[in-house]
Structures are given as structure tokens and as C-alpha cells.
Amino acid sequence: MSEAAGVAATRRPSAKAQRLRLRFAREPEAAGVGHLDLARVWARAFDEAGLVLSYSEGARQQPRLTFAAGLSAVATSEGELVDAVLAEVAAPSSAAERLRSHLPPGLTPLDAWEVGLGLPSLPSVVRWAEYRLDLPAGVSEAEAAAAVAAFLTLERLDWEEPRGEKVRRYDIRPLAQHIAVERGCEGAARLAMRLRCDSAGVGRPEQVVSALGLPQAARIHRTRLILAEVSPARDAWRRRGRYLA
């Protein structure tokens, strides 16, 4: 068999039949799976689960998998999102269950639903990220509440963030839409945050904690990603090619 024929025989399907959106959890066991490895891990899981992914055209085909937003290696999450374009239609109701046993420990698909193929890319519609941060045991709720109240009264807070040999300078105040103090485990203070996560800026919870003047959190957990609202009629039209009555 010629080299060209061998390449053709191993080509992946590029048809776009369906776009699934999956919500998944990421626990500490998956900390070793880097952001660049996620697509490879998920693509293998789809193959093993019998869900036929669509691949890009060209000599180096890539699976059509798109993740909503990066997550720090030290954080856990129950609200990560990934879009998968399939070459063959599958039932969304069973997709998460079919994938579950084929993913490494710490990556757990929770649910799946269909979204329109013509809708904007997943990263482009992310607007906010919500977090819960457990502060060290020595930080009281009153101390945390005072720090949060002082921060929220500010109109601006210039911030510097070292990145290697460079320093990033920005106004950190508008990156936090909401911060509240809750009671965490064993009486420790917990912060609930909604931080910006779009092209205008990305709020990093560990930087916001520093801006509050509090010690770094013992645990950072992302609870959900908030997307821009999409018209149901437009979604139906872009999924099926016409508006539905």
C-alpha cells in the first residue's frame, strides 16, 4: 500500500452532525492532566465510548473539542464545560454515562445536552466564573467580612502581578462582580466569588484573595461558568436550519 493510501486509510471523519456540550467535574486526581493534554484525553474517551468525534480537515487532523475556560492546576471544579462536535448523531441523555468509565480518575462527566452547530464558540460566550474558596482555619468570618467590605467600596484598585521577568499591571476591582463570606467546614471562613471571565479580563481567585489582604485559600473550587444568554429561537434555527413554530 502506498504512503498516500495509508494516510487516506487513517483519516478521521470530518462531517459535522451534532454538537454536544458536556459539564464535567475536575478533582485533585486530575491535576496531572495539563490543559494541552485535555483534548487528547477526551478524544480517546470518545473513541472508546463509541461516540464518533468530528475532526478538522488538513494533514494534521484535530478533534473538534473546545473547552470553555482554563482552570488553575491547584483548583478543583464541578462546572467545567467542553463542546464536542460529532460526526454521527448520539443521544445526549446517555453521552455522559458512556464516557464516564473511559476518563482518568478526577475527570467526571456530569451531564450533556445538544447545542446548535452554528452558535458562537464556547469560549466566546463565557462571561463569569463562580468560585468557593476555603480560607485557612485562623481567618475568622469577621476578619474576612471586613476585608471584603473594604474591597467592594473601592472604585479602582491598581494591581501588579509578576509573570516571570515581566509585571502585568491592571485594575483588579472590576474583575470581581460579587464576593460574599460564608461559613465553611469546621467553622473556617469561606468566600463565594463571581469573577469576570471574558475578553475584557479574567479574574483569578488567588489574585483577588491577595487584593483582599487575606492569606491564600486552602482550597479553590469552581462551581460554575456563566454564559451569555442565547435566544431559544435562534438556537433552534441554527441547530435545525429553520425556526420552529
The 10s digit of each residue's pLDDT in 20-79 is 999 999 999 998 888 779 999 999 999 999 999 999 988 889 999 999 999 988 899 999
**Given this model, what pLDDT does residue 7 score?**
43
Q: How distant, in Å, are the alpha carbons of 11, 30, 101, 122, 221 from that of 33?
A: 26, 5, 17, 21, 17
**Given this model, what pLDDT does residue 191 score?**
97
Architecture of domain 3-119: 2-Layer Sandwich (3.30)
Contact of 19 with 116, CB cutoff 8 Å: yes
Give the CA-trace dihedral at 227, 231, 233, 235, to 10 degrees. Answer: -30
Helix (H, G, I), strand (E, B) or coil at 21: strand
Domain with CATH 3.30.70.580 in the chain: 3-119
Task: Give 125-227's CATH code, choosing from 3.30.70, 1.10.3470, 1.20.1440, 3.40.1350.
Answer: 3.30.70
Q: Name the pTM for this structure.
A: 0.87
Spatial distance between the Cα atoms of 86 and 211, rounded to a whole number of angstroms: 43
In the numeric block, which cell numbers belong to residue 227? 454564559
Spatial distance between the Cα atoms of 13 and 110, rounded to a whole number of angstroms: 26
Residue 244 has pLDDT above 50, yes or no: no
In the chain, how long is the greatest CA-to-CA distance?
A: 74
* Phi and psi based region of residue 15 (left: phi greater than 0; alpha: psi -120 to 50; beta: remaining): beta
What value does the mean pLDDT of the chain take? Answer: 89
From the list 228, 174, 226, 223, the residue with the least C-alpha distance to 200 is 174
